[in-house]
Structure 1
Amino acid sequence: MFNAAHCPLAWVDAHGTHYEIGMALGRWGAAACQRHLVHSPAWAQVMRFRGAADIQAVQALVHQHFPWIQRELAGLADGLGLPYEDVFLWNCRGDLWAMAPDGCTTVLAPQRLSHNEDGDPGFAGFCGLGWVRPIDAPSFISFLYPGSLPGHTLAVNQAGLGVTVNNIRARRARATGLPRMVLTRAVLATQSPAQAIALLHAQPRMGAFHLGLGQPGPAGIYSVEFSQQAVSVQRVRQARLLHANHAIHDSQQDLPQVVTASSSRRQARGDELLRLDTPALDILADTGDAQEPILRLSAHDTDQENTLATADMDFSGDAVRWDVYAPGQRTAAFSFQGLHRLADD
């Protein structure tokens, strides 16, 4: 189902080699990046790391562990018409800078993931859903930001693996691992939550993220926090969970991180609504805390982030059934059965 009038998201088809996929995504996002991103304070903040010796070491690590992702980044840079180093740095933004403009709220249930995708409001109307079809890896559909690798937002791949991603504002320690957005791109090439979790355990990590992982059948739903220090996994069995933008697992309590007022209060408000048995989409549309709402549409948001889309993934059937909504809407703009995009009613 597609209602163009209610959805600011483009539909982007990218296929071929990993370089060709990056090139297609770069060409799609080039105008928005030239219009907004390269003039933004966030871009300037991240570009301070140009030429740093440890960043060159991180680039070498990406090439060593995931050369195919390095090729996607090279294609992305060429499609954007920007230097490779700049695009690489931008895709390390949350590893280098705790206050990078990436937010999000997720409700996790035994057979469901529901997610607000919160990000830079300057990209409102310029984001997309990408149908990405590599010649040598699983296909997937992902929410896309101009200038960024897919996989660090929300996505479903052809194995039925659903992924939602929340920012964790870890304070920068040392650049000795793989960027978190490289790791989440690699997750989309796995076949199950177990494989995704094993990948995170096996690889050196630089920054921190929270992942919601789900798949139809016995695989189940998982809440995963990873950081440079540890990977923490919780199976969602009965009680629902909510995750905003800071580490909350017991094993991550010593993680040096920034917990903003928005993240703290969205977490508290969401936990309160869970106790009241509020449906997930109602939680994600909540504005009961007027100063720090869960649905974030204010030009004066304290973290300078807005909700750009909402997704609801149902894993109770043979294939994941999922919908994507424009912020605050209750009629799905896109509906899918697995990777099959459902036609208009």
Structure 2
Amino acid sequence: METNNSITPVSVAGSHFEIGTSLGAATGDAIRDRVFTTPEFAELKARWLNSTRLGQLEEAARSAYPEFVREIEGMAAGAELDFETLFLWNCRGDLRLPPDGAEAEGCTCVLQPAVGHDKPAIIAHNEDGAPEFLGHCFWVTVNPDDGPGFQSFMYPGMLPGHTFGMNAWGLAQTINNIRVHDLQIGVPRQIITRAVLACRELNDAVDILKRKDRASGFHHALGQAGLRRLVSVEAPASECYVKEIEVPSGHANHVIDPSFDTTRQTVTRSSMLRQAKVDTDLGIWTREEPEVILFDTETPVYRANDDGDDYAQTLATGVLHLYANGAEWTVHASPSERHTIRGRLNI
């Protein structure tokens, strides 16, 4: 499979505003060239820019996590854009759009619990997004003055956290989009995912996902190095279901716990197919590397111009190994461009 998927590394440090400024300077061209030209952004801008609802989301974000709003303010300054436009982009999942204007869907994750005393727990994740972003995303290393450093895959103009990444305390997070019909005024989900990367303990992250004032939500796969603990959290705005992972498990783009059986959500055919394929593969998995599952193009779990009904393409694959004494991560640009980025953390 031939691709040309550049993932640009960016390292930033300082106050929250300084971090944002550096990220904005690094990603500004991609924001203008790749974000502002998408149909989704055009719909967002036409429907919600300068709206009362967007102002209410901003108020909720500033009240709960002012430091992460400062990062968006800095990003806007660094990219030479106005704050409200960039904040709008960071609320893309919290604002209703018509089906043909909604954000690109995708992402599939696999969770493998640790076996024995020396094997790692593993979270592996296909990051699927708009094809326009292929080759225009970033791997960011962020070291705030007043919180844990972290590394994360980043879209142009969006706070790090809503893709896959890990912080300096060994807390790992991967995200799957879900479309549950319960949007409300509250803290935007981009802010929530960034807040998770500032947590020391997995339980602290789960507490954030149980907040009742979230505007919308995601599926979060969370893990903790040292403990080698894994949890799957389905967290739409109105509910939060936490599942301890004790057997190999997978997740696509809709909530699947029976407690959500009466919950209204949009489930694409692609998400159903990927969920079914991952469940089948996990049932016969012999604990080979998770890429065996995530690089499957027949269903396809791996998205490459597959004509699915949710307009997405795999932008990168992240594999996070959580050991008793540390963690390792590998980022694949594509099945033919493996080990693009690698790193290790000792705890």
Q: Same fold (TM over 0.5)?
A: yes
Contact 1:95-1:170 within 8 A present in 2 as well: no
- Report what 2:165 is aligned to: 155
How far does the alpha carbon of each residue in 1:56-81 deviate from its partner, in whole angstroms, 9 at most, with x for none?
Answer: 11111111111101101111112222
Contact 1:14-1:131 within 8 A present in 2 as well: yes
Q: Which amino acid letter does the alignment assign opposite residue 8 of structure 2?
A: A
Q: Percent identity?
A: 36
Contact 1:106-1:244 within 8 A present in 2 as well: yes
- Report what 1:51 is aligned to: 50
Contact 2:182-2:238 within 8 A present in 1 as well: no
Supply the distance in 1 between the matched residues of 2:228 and 2:135 (Cα, whole angstroms): 35
Supply the distance in 2 between the matched residues of 1:142 and 1:185 (Cα, whole angstroms): 10
Supply the distance in 2 between the matched residues of 1:337 and 1:325 (Cα, whole angstroms): 15
260-269 vs 315-324, greater mean Cα deviation: 315-324
How far does the alpha carbon of each residue in 1:134-178 deviate from its partner, in whole angstroms, 9 at most, with x for none?
Answer: 10111000001111000000011000001101101123533x211
Q: Which amino acid letter does the alignment assign opposite residue 101 of structure 1?
A: A
Counterpart pick for 2:19 among 10, 15, 21 = 21
- Report what 1:103 is aligned to: 106
Supply the distance in 1 between the matched residues of 2:337 and 2:259 (Cα, whole angstroms): 37
Q: Partner of 1:51: helix, strand, or coil? A: coil
Supply the distance in 2 between the matched residues of 1:225 and 1:107 (Cα, whole angstroms): 14
What are structure 2's unaligned runs of at least 5 residues? 114-120
1:191 aligns with 2:200: yes
Counterpart pick for 1:40 among 30, 38, 41 = 38
Q: Partner of 2:27: helix, strand, or coil? A: helix
- Report what 2:79 is aligned to: 80
1:115 aligns with 2:125: yes
257-266 vs 311-320, greater mean Cα deviation: 311-320
Supply the distance in 2 between the matched residues of 1:252 and 1:172 (Cα, whole angstroms): 12
157-166 vs 329-338, greater mean Cα deviation: 329-338
- Normalising by structure 2, we get a TM-score of 0.91
Supply the distance in 1 between the matched residues of 2:312 and 2:261 (Cα, whole angstroms): 25
Q: Which amino acid letter does the alignment assign opposite residue 125 of structure 1?
A: G
- Normalising by structure 1, we get a TM-score of 0.91
Q: Which amino acid letter does the alignment assign opposite residue 186 of structure 1?
A: A
How has the CA–CA distance of structure 1 residues 300 and 82 changed in structure 2, closer, same or farther, with 3 Å as cutoff? farther
Deviation at 1:6, TM superposition (A): 7.9
Contact 1:172-1:207 within 8 A present in 2 as well: yes
Supply the distance in 1 between the matched residues of 2:219 and 2:129 (Cα, whole angstroms): 15
Matches within 5 A, 1:97-246: 97=96, 99-110=102-113, 111-171=121-181, 173-174=183-184, 176-202=185-211, 204-218=213-227, 220-237=229-246, 239-246=247-254
How far does the alpha carbon of each residue in 1:64-118 deviate from its partner, in whole angstroms, 9 at most, with x for none?
Answer: 1111011011111122222211111111111214731242100011111010011
RMSD of equivalent CA atoms = 1.9
Q: Which amino acid letter does the alignment assign opposite residue 227 of structure 1?
A: P
219-228 vs 5-14, greater mean Cα deviation: 5-14
144-153 vs 32-41, greater mean Cα deviation: 32-41
Supply the distance in 2 between the matched residues of 1:179 and 1:206 (Cα, whole angstroms): 5
Supply the distance in 2 between the matched residues of 1:180 and 1:255 (Cα, whole angstroms): 19
- Report what 1:31 is aligned to: 29
Q: Partner of 1:297: helix, strand, or coil? A: coil
What are structure 1's unaligned runs of at least 5 residues? 341-345
165-174 vs 243-252, greater mean Cα deviation: 165-174
127-136 vs 272-281, greater mean Cα deviation: 272-281
- Report what 2:295 is aligned to: 285
- Report what 1:71 is aligned to: 70
Q: Partner of 2:75: helix, strand, or coil? A: helix
Deviation at 1:316, TM superposition (A): 2.8
Contact 2:72-2:86 within 8 A present in 1 as well: yes
- Report what 1:265 is aligned to: 273
Supply the distance in 2 between the matched residues of 1:323 and 1:68 (Cα, whole angstroms): 29
Contact 1:69-1:182 within 8 A present in 2 as well: yes
